[in-house]
Structure 1
Amino acid sequence: MSDPDPEFHTYFRYYADRRPWRPGCVDELLRAAADEEIVDVFLTDTGLSRIHAPYDGGADVVLTTPAERDRLRARHPDWLSAHPSGC
């Protein structure tokens, strides 16, 4: 099989860690992502159905349903941006 663009290749290194949830157990990781000491961080449940992706200006959150999204939005209004859509 020939490569259509041999000059364009992207490589990633992955690290995965599985640990029981405890309040504060990812605080150092979140701070490092906010300070751009590390990038491309993804926190997820063991089923990979919910994803929290923090970065230096906030975070993206992927949830399973619009209802779950709305519950999270109602619980944490201070997490939303000042944009009228909250995005």
Structure 2
Amino acid sequence: MEQLENGVQATQIQGVTWRKSRRSNPSGNCVELAALPDGGAAVRNSRDPQGPALIYTRDEIAAFIGGVKDGDFDSLAGGSAVLGR
């Protein structure tokens, strides 16, 4: 796979499966992630699946997911009650 740049059109990322959280709301206001062959991840807006994607390395996405698990971003979602904790 060629080197992907941030902002690449999501439809240009071939051979990946886009996934969103089971906690996604029915109106589809979510982000979707796709694992990349190099271990990184691509992120896109589910409301604009043809739009731009952000590309993260394996280390960047691991740090982000770790922060989510640790509750570092709970305040962005209205507090821990919103996240089901």
Point out the structure with the larger strand share: 2
Larger relative contact order (CA 8 Å, sep ≥ 6): 2
Fold shared per TM-score above 0.5: no
Larger Rg: 1
TM-score by length of 1: 0.24
TM-score by length of 2: 0.24
